[in-house]
Amino acid sequence: MQHYCEEELKFCQALPKIELHAHLNGSLRDATIRKLAIKRQLDPSLTKLIEKGDRTLSECFKLFDVIHQITTDHETITGIASEVVEDFAADNVRYLELRTTPKTRSEHGMTKRSYTEAVLKGMQEAQGRQRASKGRSIAVRLLLSIDRREDAAAALETVQLAAELQSRGVVGIDLSGNPTLGQWSTWEPALQEARRQGLKITLHAAEVYNPAETEAMLHFRPDRLGHMCCLDERLEALHYSTGIPVELCLSSNIITESVASYPEHHFHPFYSAGHPVILCTDDSGVFSTSLSKEFAIAAQAFQFSRLQLWQISEAAIDHTFLNEEEKQDLRKEFENARLKLQ
């Protein structure tokens, strides 16, 4: 069943947009996954896992492990980073904050640093191609993710790497991975260090019901939160009182069954209460979506006018991890786009 109307999708494609929650390995094109599965001679039983369908949250994490088996070497990492940037640009995303988990793969001579440099190279290549062909390019920054399976030392290594690469476009740290694994106390010291180093922080929170962890995360006061699907009234009130902007991914939450239906998605109560919300894709490849589709789905589910869609899109600029001057440039770009569309 299609949850958006084609006419609205066209409008949403023309809308300039900001993407703040996109995982690199979750955003691959189907064709790229198929090609890499053949190249890496992936076991056919695993190839089946990649085929599309409804996915529970735990199936999603099995799928990520399979995708990681085919995106192994530096050249592939550069290639997928470049493709993902191109895909967001083609969807009229003007600023992308891409996130990825740095990986050590000794069999490929890969360290967390060389992995991250391969991603940065792919991002730059895509931007360079756009500037050459169009005279302008999507702006892109990188967040380094800590996977919840990682221990305190691995988390700290990622933070130190991010701190060292700030001048190369790394602006922050994300905590993500299977929400049923690990303990907040493991990564908190590394996240405190990230803050000391001037990095911005976003946390996947309440993707499953875990009130003690969600409360600890809220008390930590990250710069942004992702998901916040499973809250009780007390945590919801606490979240509202902090004013921390929340990255919301409609298709992801519905497909993984964290939320029952689009109209029931918590995007709407947050939005109606004036709480800062940002529409995002999460894993556009895994969930067969795009940011334009997420806007079109929101338009249908919550009966948003076109003016409201513009406002939601533009308000995301305030919540990027850019400095004030860079935010101002984006606001000008949105203004120019508005004048062109009128």
Contact set with ligand 6MZ (CB under 6 A): 23-26, 60, 64, 100-101, 145, 147, 176-177, 204, 207, 252, 256, 282-283
Min. distance of Cβ 282 from ligand 6MZ in angstroms?
Answer: 5
SS (H, E, C) 102-156: CCCEHHHCECHHHHHHHHHHHHHHHHHHHHHHHCCCCEEEEEEEEECCCCHHHHH
**Which amino acid would we find at residue 32?**
T
Active site residue 207: yes
Question: Quick one: 37 or 317, whose CB is closer to ligand 6MZ?
Answer: 37
Read off the amino acid at residue 280: C
Choosing from 207, 213, 247, 314, the catalytic residue is 207
Residues 187-204 as b or e (16 or more Cβ within 10 Å = b): bbebbebbbeeebbbbbb
Between residues 100 and 289, which has the closer beta carbon with respect to ligand 6MZ?
A: 100
Q: How far is the CB of 202 from ligand 6MZ (least distance, A)?
A: 12
For residue 133, the minimal CB distance to ligand 6MZ (Å) is 26
Half-sphere exposure of 132 (CA within 13 A, CB side): 6
Q: Which is nearer to ligand 6MZ, 236 or 282 (CB)?
A: 282
Shortest distance (Å) from residue 7 CB to ligand 6MZ: 29
- Alpha-carbon gap, residue 342 to 338, rounded angstroms: 6
Cα gap 167→105, rounded to integer Å: 25
When the beta carbons of 157 and 314 are compared against ligand 6MZ, the nearer one is: 157
Q: Which residues are catalytic?
A: 207
